Amino acid sequence: MTIKPPKKFFEPLAIGAPSPYRELPVALERMIHFFPPHVEKMRARVPDMVSQVDVLLGNLEDAIPADAKEAARRGFIEVATSVDFGATGLWTRVNCLNSPWFLDDVTEIVAAAGDKLDVIMLPKVEGPWDIHFLDQLLAQLEARHGVKKPILIHAILETALGVANVEAIAAASPRMHGMSLGPADLAASRGMKTTRVGGGHPFYGVLEDPRGDGGARGFHQQDLWHYTVAKMVDACQSQGIKAFYGPFGDFSDDAACEAQFRNAFLLGCVGAWSLHPKQIEIAKRVFSPDVEEVRFARKILEAMPDGTGAVMIDGKMQDDATWKQAKVIVDLARQVAARDPALAEAYGL
Ligand code: GLV
Ligand code: MG
């Protein structure tokens, strides 16, 4: 495969566009909170939401009816230009590349609010070619409208072909911010026999071996998304970008939402989508590291100031590798602490 020479990778793709980032800007993104920008009541809530979430995303794609697509785009622009987002991220999910709305979504939003927009979420990404197209288009629009910092791209991993190409998608451009699992579209694309938005399925599991005494055999549900999340995390982390769980659609089952988000967190994801206000708290709880874990991780860092050697703490062996794990947790805890005074105190940071 022919690849672009390293030096070229960080040149702007259009004269006058800002230079690509060499590293992602540091941002806490535990939840990406979706709002439908065509609904006036929802737009009116945005100024209050800013202090409650890490990222606000105006959704233009699925769940927005075809006859409201333009109103959603206009509503997003109104919110983007009139609200002060401070340190809270402002993202939009545009319609997919082959839809009749994609081009106007991107051109109108960058023209009107390019300097306020942090990230464009691109749905139904199938390969690096999709990223290259949006990358070039954004550079042209940034140059035309004098946008000062690069607008990042976040891909949704929600087609079978996208999963097959996940590593190439993650590496496609320095504009890549990260990726979210899109379990609803992915289930359809793969031909999975489910009717859900994320989460498990009662029939997907392992039956225990027959017991010698003829007693009842236990059946243990397995995680439908384990393989895809792990594959996505490796693809993202190896390119220095972030992995996210996507939506959890059963608003009547908070415990299952929490369990699914926690699996993703433990496997390396940094956040998830919140589609209902109560999922904001779930995501905050799950994607902020556990207080006891942070305290233990701090003990490891303190016991091994230069990160080498071997020590015992509470009967557990620590070495350079556990020091690195501890650093992941403490670095995240510091980001959380900077935004959340109560947790800062609990972490002792
Ligand atoms: C999200 O877009 C999904 O399809 O799950
Ligand atoms: Mg989808």
| 248-301 residue pLDDT tens | 999 999 999 999 999 999 999 999 999 999 999 999 999 999 999 999 999 999
Q: Which helix (H) or strand (E) holds 157?
A: strand 152-157
Domain termination residue (choose one: 262, 287, 312): 287
User: What is the Å distance from ligand 1's center to 18 Cα?
Assistant: 31
272 within domain boundaries: yes
Question: Best of 62, 64, 157, 190 to mutate for ligand 1, by most ligand atoms within 8 A of CB?
Answer: 62
Q: What are phi and psi of 202, to 5 degrees?
A: -65, -20
Using CA positions, which residue lies closest to atom 1 of ligand 1?
182
Q: Same structural domain for residues 206 and 318?
A: no
Rg from Cα positions in the chain: 22
Whether 89 is in the pocket of ligand 1, judged by its Cβ within 6 Å, is no
User: What is the Å distance from ligand 2's center to 184 Cα?
Assistant: 6
120 within domain boundaries: yes
Please identify which residue in the block is written with the tokens 């369990």. Answer: 259
User: What is the Å distance from ligand 1's center to 156 Cα?
Assistant: 7
**318 forms bridges with which residues in the sheet?**
311
Q: Same structural domain for residues 189 and 304?
A: no
Give pLDDT < 70 ranges for the chain: 1
Q: Same structural domain for residues 101 and 242?
A: yes
**35 forms bridges with which residues in the sheet?**
58
42 within domain boundaries: yes
Chain centre to alpha carbon of residue 121: 9
pTM, rounded to two decimals: 0.96
Q: Same structural domain for residues 328 and 225?
A: no
Q: Same structural domain for residues 255 and 176?
A: yes
The pLDDT, as a whole number, for residue 10 is 92
Whether 184 is in the pocket of ligand 1, judged by its Cβ within 6 Å, is yes
Which two structure tokens, joined as six digits, stand for 275? 């589609």
1 within domain boundaries: no
The pLDDT, as a whole number, for residue 1 is 63
Q: Same structural domain for residues 275 and 324?
A: no
Q: Same structural domain for residues 137 and 67?
A: yes
Q: Same structural domain for residues 304 and 169?
A: no
- What does the DSSP assignment read for 232-260? HHHHHHTTT-EEE------TT-HHHHHHH
Q: Which pLDDT tens digit goes with each residue over 125-146? A: 999 999 999 999 999 999 999 9
Whether 114 is in the pocket of ligand 1, judged by its Cβ within 6 Å, is no
The pLDDT, as a whole number, for residue 280 is 98
Q: Same structural domain for residues 249 and 316?
A: no
Domain termination residue (choose one: 255, 287, 319): 287
User: What is the Å distance from ligand 2's center to 181 Cα?
Assistant: 9
Domain termination residue (choose one: 237, 252, 287): 287
Q: What is the CATH number of the domain that holds 129?
A: 3.20.20.60
140 within domain boundaries: yes
Whether 183 is in the pocket of ligand 1, judged by its Cβ within 6 Å, is yes
Whether 61 is in the pocket of ligand 1, judged by its Cβ within 6 Å, is no
Nearest of 27, 25, 34 to residue 182 by alpha carbon: 34
108 within domain boundaries: yes
Nearest of 54, 56, 33 to residue 113 by alpha carbon: 56
Q: Tell me the pairing of strands 311-313 and 272-274.
A: unpaired
The pLDDT, as a whole number, for residue 157 is 98
Helix (H, G, I), strand (E, B) or coil at 274: strand
75 within domain boundaries: yes
Q: Same structural domain for residues 97 and 185?
A: yes
Residue pair 156/185 in contact (Cβ under 8 Å)? The answer is yes
The pLDDT, as a whole number, for residue 6 is 85
User: What is the Å distance from ligand 2's center to 38 Cα?
Assistant: 19
Whether 181 is in the pocket of ligand 1, judged by its Cβ within 6 Å, is no
Q: Whole-angstrom Cα distance, residue 289 to residue 100?
A: 42
The pLDDT, as a whole number, for residue 305 is 93
Q: Same structural domain for residues 190 and 306?
A: no
Q: Which pLDDT tens digit goes with each residue over 26-37? A: 999 999 999 999
Q: How many CA atoms lie within 13 A of 137 on its CB side?
A: 19
CA-to-CA dists, residue 289 to 99, 222, 225, 320, angstroms: 39, 24, 22, 21
Residue 184 alpha carbon, nearest atom of ligand 1 = 5
246 within domain boundaries: yes
Using CA positions, which residue lies closest to atom 3 of ligand 1?
182
Whether 185 is in the pocket of ligand 1, judged by its Cβ within 6 Å, is yes
Whether 182 is in the pocket of ligand 1, judged by its Cβ within 6 Å, is yes
Q: How many domains does the chain have?
A: 2
User: What is the Å distance from ligand 1's center to 189 Cα?
Assistant: 11
Q: Same structural domain for residues 52 and 82?
A: yes
Q: Which amino acid is at 142?
A: E
> CB-based contacts of 20: which residues, under 8 Å, 6+ apart?
9, 10, 11, 12, 150, 173, 174, 175
Tell me the residue range of the domain where 223 lies.
Answer: 6-210+217-287
CA-to-CA dists, residue 175 to 123, 167, 283, 317, angstroms: 16, 15, 26, 40
Check residue 309 and give left, alpha or beta (phi > 0: left; psi -120 to 50: alpha): left
Q: How many residues does the chain have?
A: 349
Q: Whole-angstrom Cα distance, residue 231 to residue 164?
A: 10
Q: Whole-angstrom Cα distance, residue 163 to residue 275?
A: 23
Q: Which amino acid is at 242?
A: K
Q: Whole-angstrom Cα distance, residue 329 to residue 311?
A: 19
Whether 135 is in the pocket of ligand 1, judged by its Cβ within 6 Å, is no
